[in-house]
Structure 1
């Protein structure tokens, strides 16, 4: 869904130095460089991407298909597909995701909750561990 050629375009920007008080919903892609005090939601009818840059602060719930965080989020983060936590990401709240990419330096103060569509799918992906004894 999110290969490099088919990512939704970034169509909205909350610029550095701007502050938005209230809920914010968007379609396609959005970038936050400023501050949002409210929930940020990508509409579910089409693929969405949200970029929270190094200078950004979001206080509220975050929901989109593809979420990239390199700033601060104070609230839960829900990535319907992919969550990327860049080195300066600071999240205070639980995170939900199908796929997680977490860089060294990123911090989450909350629970990591993977979305599993099928329990059998999860069991099939886990490798079987075999313990061997070193007794001669």
Structure 2
């Protein structure tokens, strides 16, 4: 539905009880069950999937194509294909997404910003919209 491309296999795992400090770059698929203190970024231009499990915690920027979260993320998230927030997901940071699926129980403490294919402005402008005119019905001439 969201993409005709097949998702890559998850070939890398950060196991429960493991703590990584620093920037983590990956290609293909990555699952995090431990803790990452730093950015988690998929290689640009490649199809990617990132799973942050219920037991995982990431403190830093998260950037990948398809992102599935059921743990905690403290920092901004950017998902260029699909962001899935499972029931135990807790995000503290702004979220940029192409498509968003959020289950009951997931929380976001930050702003949501959808991506678009064309040029986008964050401010709402009314310059290209016609003025709204209200006409009173009834007789005011007495």
TM-score bucket of the superposed structures, by smaller chain:
0.7 to 0.9
Q: Deviations over 1:92-119 (max 9, x none)?
A: 0000001000000000000010001236
Who is 1:103 aligned against? 103
Which structure is larger by alpha-carbon Rg, 1 or 2?
2
CA RMSD of aligned residues (A): 1.6
2-structure distance, mates of 1:58, 1:71: 8
1-structure distance, mates of 2:45, 2:7: 15
Unaligned stretches of 5+ in structure 1?
Answer: 121-136
Higher helix proportion: 1
Moved segments of 4+, more than 6 Å: none
Q: TM (normalized to structure 1)?
A: 0.83
Secondary structure of 1:113's counterpart equals: strand
Unaligned stretches of 5+ in structure 2?
Answer: 121-142
Number of equivalent positions: 119
**Quick check: 1:73 aligned with 2:76?**
no
2-structure distance, mates of 1:38, 1:85: 20
